[in-house]
Amino acid sequence: MDIIKEIFNGNFMPHGHCLLWRGDLLFLHVGGDLLTFTAYTLIPIALVKLVKSRDDFRFNWLFLMFAGFIFFCGATHLVGLINIWNGYYYIEGIVKFLTGIISMVTAVMLWHLLPEAISFPSRRNMQQKITELQQAEKQLAESNLRLEAEVKKRTAQLEKIATTDELTGLYNRREIMRILDIEISRVFRQQTPLSIMMLDLDHFKAINDQYGHQTGDVTLQNAAASISQGIRKTDSIGRIGGEEFLIIMPDTTIESAYDHADRIRQTLAMQKAKDTAEQGCTASIGVAQFLQDDSLKSFIQRADETLYRAKAEGRNRVCRSLSE
């Protein structure tokens, strides 16, 4: 109890005696301590509020240490202000001693943190890094666009290779059969007519044997081009064998398909009759219309049988399926 009484003993000579109780000196010391204490109180409150409001700071504990350090500094000014009139020098000494302890702890912690703080990039470095990242992102985006364009190009090329006959540029057998299967499904849904032509070039083997396969290839290409020009935009044509072609004609009856096939036959015959350096050849064509009890296989078979009948009857002619 004696120690507590001694600590709170304010009977020591107040600082006011040292200032001779002069108004000007009292104003300067009292005003300075009062302003400093007020500021040193507001700053810790602001630091504590900042730490509570933000949980993403890496060194919240350091803010709190600074808040404690500043608060105790303010407390010494408060006691100094009181001691103008009362000599509580034990209290002032204790506050100063605690201020010294927290100041040393804060200093040690700050020096311990200093290497990591120095390693933080500066604002200029951060801006430079951001600029570099933005440039890298832009380059990556441009590379992705080029890659996507190249992938689309390669995909289109692969799709073309997968669906196109290399020599004639027409659909290959697999693709033209896929298209025919789709058209047959449409017949069942919409009850529309569907016809096909099975076309075979006459005496084509003789052209290969007499003039060579290179001439035969040119003959195939010319015939394919001529047939393609003679069909409608809604029709599809594919090469299904060596010199055999399949033409799909949606929304077309057997009568219309027969007339259309005969025009194609005449065009090929006229090309053969021309006096040119390139070889031409006539064609035999079988025409069939899809029936309700048909399948893809039976439909193709009927058109194929009709083609063989055209061949057997002398070639360079069109025959229609006897089932219609």
Q: Which residues are catalytic?
A: 243
Phi/psi for 120 (5° steps) reads -60, 135
Q: Write out the two tokens for 31.
A: 């005003």
Joined together, the tokens standing for residue 119 give 């390693």
> What is the rounded CA–CA span in Å between residue 281 and residue 48?
98
Q: Could you tell me where the DSSP H helices lie in 164-194? A: 173-190
CA distance 215 to 208: 7
| Separation CA 167–CA 170 (nearest Å) | 8
Backbone phi and psi for residue 27, each to the nearest 5 degrees, phi listed first:
-60, -45
The C-alpha atoms of residue 277 and residue 11 are separated, in whole angstroms, by 134
